[in-house]
Chain A
Amino acid sequence: MAYAPSEEPVALKILVAGGFGVGKTTLVGAISEIRPLRTEEVLSDRGVGVDDVDGVEGKTTTTVAMDFGRITIREGLVVYLFGTPGQERFWFMWDELSYGALGAVVLADTRRLTDCFPSIDYFEQRGTPFIVAVNCFDGADQHEPDDVRVALDLDPDVPVLLCDVRRRASAKVVLVTLVEHALKTLTAAQRK
């Protein structure tokens, strides 16, 4: 079947990053049909210094389970959500995950704000548009987004918002904020 170029199927990729246990899986599950996806990665030179293989020198592959969700906007337009593995040993996967990504949501927990530093550094360096969504856990003190911005030393144009990733409505706002930010970044780049 012949499609006009504009009608070819389009797939977009959004990453969900942040520290371990910050709610990445919950966010993906709140807004999309979450599906199992695993990778059996070969430990290569890229893992040297990253993967501690002491005692398991004979081990050549490692299995990583990822959060993977899909949102169908319409036929031929699909948004994929990928939760980035939280542990440092899986850094080698980030380059692939972020390649061609539309943008990233960095989930933060104000009780463990430092956990999201590596994600923010990574996306800043790569120039991937990202937003910071502060997951409001029960029992955690509420902080103003501007306080979080200062604490994380974010550029003024990076959106920061509070959210409750268990709620679908809140998860929607998070994603809409990200895509709006990506659109703004894209149009700004085109004007240059």
Chain B
Amino acid sequence: MTEPQWLDEEAGPIVRPYALTGGRTRSSGDDFDLISLVTAADVPGKDESALGPEQRHILAIAREPMSVADIASEIDLPLGVVRVLLGDLHDHELISVRPPAQVAPLPSERILKEVINGLRAL
């Protein structure tokens, strides 16, 4: 790769992706798997004044559990950036994060059979 090509994509972002994160490239948690499920915490009267528009967007779309990959795709930002934003939200206890089922515990035989039947029925 010679020159960064981010400018070419549909006129591209005007702001460099990591500018949204204050230049940080690693989140404090740094453990958001692609399919970890993120859910916005139900905090009454939460203070969102310190949050940027992207983080508010994440909170808005993650009212129901949503995977990290889905969030990145939905808000159209690179995964690395999304992880930093999620790390901030997590530090402020505004989201809860569940690691993928494969990590703990292993998916049960019942779940896998359900997947097989579900795939067959597609």
**Quick check: is A36 within 8 A (CB to CB) of the other chain?**
yes
- Chain B positions within 8 Å of A11 at CB level: 35-37, 67, 100-101
- Chain A positions within 8 Å of B119 at CB level: 71, 73, 79, 172, 175-176, 179
**Whole-angstrom distance between the alpha carbons of A55 and B3 in the complex?**
10
Question: Total A-B residue pairs with C-beta atoms closer than 8 Å?
Answer: 127
- B111 — nearest CB in chain A belongs to which residue? A10
Contact A12 B80 (CB under 8 A): no
**Quick check: is A192 within 8 A (CB to CB) of the other chain?**
no
* Count of chain A residues with a beta carbon within 8 Å of a chain B beta carbon: 48
- A13-B17 contact given A71-B122, A187-B109, CB 8 Å threshold: no
- Chain A positions within 8 Å of B4 at CB level: 59, 63
- A36-B115 contact given A11-B67, A100-B103, CB 8 Å threshold: no
- For chain B, which range describes its interface: under 10, 10 to 19, 20 to 34, or 35 or more residues? 35 or more
Contact A12 B76 (CB under 8 A): no
**Quick check: is B98 within 8 A (CB to CB) of the other chain?**
yes
- A80-B35 contact given A10-B111, A56-B2, A186-B112, CB 8 Å threshold: yes
10 A-B pairs with least C-beta separation:
A40-B78, A73-B118, A100-B102, A39-B79, A11-B35, A183-B112, A42-B25, A100-B100, A10-B101, A35-B73
Interface residues, chain B, CB within 8 Å of chain A?
1-2, 4-6, 17-18, 25-26, 33-37, 65, 67, 69-70, 72-73, 76, 78-81, 98-103, 106-109, 111-116, 118-120, 122
14 further A-B contacts with Cβ under 8 Å, apart from A12-B101, A183-B109, are A10-B107, A12-B100, A36-B76, A40-B79, A56-B1, A63-B4, A68-B69, A68-B73, A80-B35, A80-B67, A102-B112, A175-B119, A179-B119, A186-B112
